[in-house]
Structure 1
Amino acid sequence: MASTQRSGRSGPDALTDDDLVAGAHEEPELFARIYAALAPAVVGYFTGRGVEDPEALMQDVFLSVLPRVGSIAGGVAGLRTFVFSVAHARVVDHYRRVERRPVSVDYDPLLDDRAAPSAEAEALVRTGQTDAQLLIGTLKPEQRDVLMLRIVGELSVDDVANVLGKTPGAVKQLQRRGLKALREMVSEGVSAP
């Protein structure tokens, strides 16, 4: 009998290993269940990584993942790991594109309100970034990747190691150091730059 491991969620969006068994659902229904169960976490991962349009990038991930659902092993855990492997690759690609083609913005003197809060502070408020996102953004990139995949992606240490191409020991060390750095920033009352 197949396992009924859950995706970590409960309610109508819960996804079980039984849902992924061939023939358990019609293809559109299966895709809808997978999307409902994993899309919020993927958007959260992209938002935490500072992607400009997290919803668009999330849709790109699912366009890549859904045709391969039948070939993914490991049930819900394997599917989640695969989805976040693709998501992580999309983030890396996104930032490579951004670095190659910086965005140019025309100067508009009517929008220049530098006498008030700094332009950086205003931009962060407009993008809706929270203090937590700002603090996580101050971490080293590898620590940030590990924490985002572990917390937002709800991946195990082994799964994060597979996504990032690292050993489980390295992932644990990066997680420990990242959490320690965040604790120190919060306890010292240091606000993010």
Structure 2
Amino acid sequence: MPEWHKIPDEELIALAQKGNREAFEEIYNRYGEAIYRYLYGHISHAQDAEDMTADVFMNLWRTLGQYREKDRVPFYVYLYRIARNRLVDYFRQQKGRQGETDTPDIGEISSAPRPPSVMVAGMDIADLHHYLLKLPPDYRTVLVLRFLNDLSYEETAQVMGKSYAAVRVLQHRALAALRALMERGEG
């Protein structure tokens, strides 16, 4: 039995493309939490984020055979794009339930209850999440990818479809906006 955690992503993807469920499970183990954090960083309902994470990986299982790194983007970018598309679908469904037909902005805030409290750097994670939801979508995305998912500037730029410099500026502005919200106590 292979030690899955030692196998590079490229090999896991190739095995999963051939139908190897254990390889796909390892892909989930590597990326599932990051995708959940990304999704949860845009909505305020933990159960919806969990369900959407499952949807993302079911979609990945169905479409993995189409993925070719040499022809396309790095795997993690492909996966985040699936997650972003799932967010767009989620907000369309939310609008539909409210009887509206316009496609909502990915930054819309759900009024669902906040998750249980966890402390991060002395701050309640639920409070931090509440502040993040008040930021514009690009600000929220850059902070989630950079600090919660620990992506580099280059990786974040690829996921967001922006330049390295644009991500640095966006991060600076996002941190300033977050700091201002927190100082004003707008949570």
Fold similarity call, TM over 0.5: yes
CA RMSD for the aligned pairs? 3.2
Cα gap change, 1:60 to 1:26, in 2 (>3 Å) = closer
Q: Which amino acid aligns with 1:55?
A: E
TM-score (norm 2): 0.69
Q: Of 29, 32, 52, which aligns to 2:25?
A: 32
Q: Of 122, 127, 130, which aligns to 1:131?
A: 127
Bigger Rg, structure 1 or 2? 1
Q: Of 59, 62, 67, which aligns to 2:54?
A: 59
- Between the aligned residues of both structures, percent identity stands at 30
* 2:186 alignment counterpart: 192
Q: Which amino acid aligns with 1:56?
A: D
How far has the Cα of 1:34 moved from its partner? 0.5
1:44-123 counterparts in 2 under 5 A?
44-50=37-43, 52=45, 53-69=48-64, 71-73=67-69, 78-102=74-98
How far has the Cα of 1:40 moved from its partner? 1.3
Secondary structure at the aligned position of 2:162 is classed as coil
Number of positions where the alignment pairs a residue of Structure 1 with one of Structure 2: 160
For the 8 Å contact 1:143–1:175, the answer to whether it is kept is yes
Cα gap change, 1:30 to 1:184, in 2 (>3 Å) = same
CA distance in 1, matches of 2:162, 2:42: 19
Cα gap change, 1:151 to 1:159, in 2 (>3 Å) = same
CA distance in 2, matches of 1:20, 1:57: 23
Q: Deviations over 1:88-134 (max 9, x none)?
A: 1211221132123228xxxxxxxxxxxxxxxxxx9645x44711101
Cα gap change, 1:167 to 1:20, in 2 (>3 Å) = same
How far has the Cα of 1:178 moved from its partner? 0.6
How far has the Cα of 1:15 moved from its partner? 5.9
Cα gap change, 1:124 to 1:22, in 2 (>3 Å) = closer
CA distance in 2, matches of 1:102, 1:163: 30
TM-score (norm 1): 0.67
